[in-house]
A and B are shown apart, each in its own frame.
Chain A
Amino acid sequence: MNKSDITILVADDDPDYLFQTVFNLEKAGYRTIAVESQAEAESVIARSKPDLAIFDLMMESDDSGFILCYKIKRKYPEVPVILATAVSHETGLSFSIDSDQEKSWIRADRYLEKGIRPEQLDQEIMKLLRF
């Protein structure tokens, strides 16, 4: 599989974070679809199937990312999902998807803190896509 055949859906309501993520992903060789809201992400999911998705947690609502995880997994259970957020450091609210119990309600395959370095993100993606 070639990286240029991989399409990644990125949803984030912070235009700068979106710009940077898309920039890094494209630099790494992936194709991207960038959207700025949960609503846009839902309409992308409705009409096409990305190979991987990266969702911000807080967009229109505080749990937009969780909702998107749930919706994409219901439609395409095999598509890996990364939940990217800065929320845990900010709020003291911590969650991970390491235990089975957490996996059962957070339907993401990886949970990453924002501010992750581009190479690290690329590695996580390659692991999820089994390169």
Chain B
Amino acid sequence: MAVLKVLVIDDEPGIRSGVSRILNNFHVTYPFMDEDYTFEVTEAATGEDGIKVLERDMPDILLLDNKLPGIQGVEVLEYIRKRNYDIVVAMITSYASLDVAVRATRNGAIDFIPKPFTPQELKSSIENITKQQYLKRITHRMNQEGKKVRYQFLSVLSHELKAPLNALEGYLRMMQDKQSGELIDDYATPIERSLQRIHGMRSLIMDLLDFTKIRLERKEEKIQEVNLAELASEAIVTVQPFAIQMDVNITLDVRTDVTIFADPDDIEIVFNNLISNAVKYNKIGGKAEITIDCSDSEAILIISDTGIGITKNDTENLFAEFVRIKNEKTRNISGSGLGLSIVKKVVELYHGTIKVDSTPDVGTVFTIRLPKKPITTI
């Protein structure tokens, strides 16, 4: 239950008490609102008093008579507008001259309630105002949250992009100043580390491209029937050189040959990320297995490895942007921290689910379920 504060400024006591009586027992509800709104009414007999109350209580809704003993209603309205207060104003007036109506509207009054009014007339005006106020606040809040998320993303991104540059700069300065000695061999570690950081930065940039692609592209025209086993084999070929280096054996087990409706680029992103992770976070001589299967309505992809695994705590944040699990075992593995967040976004785009089961030092299993039927709303 939320309470909206209503201020009535009117020199007629009958009007003020009428409004109080009607609204104190009134509540507004809509199917799309989280909660009901009730009203708490305060009264003022003059514009001057009204402004005092307004400064003290900051009401949500103001019911304002124009003809007042001192300053006029329209002047109160101007006062509010100049200060940008977030108050919805409705004029209550027995006869609004065109001039007053224009001035009031220009200064932000959104409704006119003719005097005298029936309880029902007042209620329906208040109902409209409440709805508007609610929508305005929701929009404002959503904009703020959107901005915050974008800002966080950009600030973390620039941190991730600048960190490798700082590292490279530091190493190059060490060499420029010959801090470790005269011979190129004295700088084996800085050179090796620099190359690793460049590699990491490149993969971050590639991931960012994927990321913007899934965020920005309209997909309808690219959706087609794709064969999951084929795409998996292609991804395995891509990862193979790295797997040979790590001596990891990748196998593909097609239990049911499944096709789904998707943009093949998206599915490629999913396979590439998960299969290369299964190799990257594996042990020398380990195994990675891709299983493709289906239920009545879903395609099921299982990517399992015999790698270093993830603790229960770490799995919670695993799919967030820029999250990298940091520990002894991962410190020499480079990555952007974007891969799994991208995979999750793609899977959700197709109304699918992704889940992870892992045991440290034993291995990790990612299970993805994607609807077989074409999705209409991408």
Q: Which residues of A are at the interface with B, using a C-beta cutoff of 8 A?
A: 13-17, 19-20, 23-24, 27, 36-37, 58, 60, 86-87, 89-91, 93, 114-115, 117-118
Q: Identify which of A24, A89, A93, A117 contacts B162 (C-beta below 8 A).
A: A89
Could you tell me if A93 and B166 are in contact, using CB atoms closer than 8 angstroms? no
Could you tell me if B326 and A90 are in contact, using CB atoms closer than 8 angstroms? no
Query: Taking A36-B331, A91-B158 as contacts, is the C-beta distance between A14 and B171 under 8 angstroms?
Result: no
Q: Identify which of B155, B167, B180 contacts A93 (C-beta below 8 A).
A: B155
B155 shortest CB reach to chain A, Å: 4
Residue-wise interface mask of B (154-171) relative to A, using a CB-CB cutoff of 8 A (1 in contact, 0 not)? 110011001100110111
Could you tell me if A58 and B167 are in contact, using CB atoms closer than 8 angstroms? no
Alpha-carbon gap, A90 to B162, bound state (A): 8
Query: Taking A90-B158, A91-B158, A93-B155 as contacts, is the C-beta distance between A23 and B174 under 8 angstroms?
Result: yes
Residue-wise interface mask of B (165-192) relative to A, using a CB-CB cutoff of 8 A (1 in contact, 0 not)? 0110111011000011000000001000
Could you tell me if A86 and B326 are in contact, using CB atoms closer than 8 angstroms? no
Interface pairs (29), CB distance under 8 Å: A13-B326, A14-B166, A14-B167, A15-B331, A16-B166, A16-B167, A16-B193, A16-B197, A17-B166, A17-B170, A19-B189, A20-B171, A23-B180, A27-B179, A36-B326, A36-B331, A37-B326, A58-B159, A90-B155, A90-B159, A90-B162, A91-B155, A91-B158, A93-B155, A114-B166, A115-B166, A115-B169, A115-B170, A118-B179
Q: Which residues of B are at the interface with A, using a C-beta cutoff of 8 A?
A: 154-155, 158-159, 162-163, 166-167, 169-171, 173-174, 179-180, 189, 193, 197, 326, 331
Tell me the nearest residue of chain A to B163, going by C-beta: A14
Q: Which of B167, B173, B179 has the most CB of A within 10 A?
A: B167
Alpha-carbon gap, A117 to B166, bound state (A): 12
A117 shortest CB reach to chain B, Å: 8
Q: Which residues of A contact B331 (CB under 8 A)?
A: 15, 36
A-B CB proximity, top 7 nearest: A16-B167, A20-B170, A90-B158, A91-B155, A90-B159, A90-B162, A16-B193
Q: Which of B154, B166, B170, B174 has the most CB of A within 10 A?
A: B170
Could you tell me if B155 and A16 are in contact, using CB atoms closer than 8 angstroms? no
Query: A16-B197, A58-B159, A115-B169 given. 10 additional CB < 8 A pairs?
Result: A15-B193, A15-B331, A16-B166, A16-B193, A20-B170, A36-B331, A86-B163, A86-B166, A91-B155, A91-B158
Alpha-carbon gap, A23 to B174, bound state (A): 10
Alpha-carbon gap, A16 to B196, bound state (A): 10
Q: Which residues of A contact B197 (CB under 8 A)?
A: 16
Q: Which residues of B contact A15 (CB under 8 A)?
A: 193, 331
Tell me the nearest residue of chain A to B196, going by C-beta: A16
Q: Which residues of B contact A115 (CB under 8 A)?
A: 166, 169-170
Q: Which residues of A contact B154 (CB under 8 A)?
A: 91
Q: Which residues of B contact A13 (CB under 8 A)?
A: 326
Q: Which residues of B contact A17 (CB under 8 A)?
A: 163, 166-167, 170
Alpha-carbon gap, A47 to B179, bound state (A): 33
Q: Which residues of B contact A114 (CB under 8 A)?
A: 166
Tell me the nearest residue of chain B to A114, going by C-beta: B166
B203 shortest CB reach to chain A, Å: 16
Alpha-carbon gap, A91 to B153, bound state (A): 10
Alpha-carbon gap, A60 to B327, bound state (A): 11
Could you tell me if B158 and A16 are in contact, using CB atoms closer than 8 angstroms? no
Q: Which residues of A contact B180 (CB under 8 A)?
A: 23
Q: Which residues of A contact B166 (CB under 8 A)?
A: 14, 16-17, 86, 114-115
Alpha-carbon gap, A46 to B326, bound state (A): 22
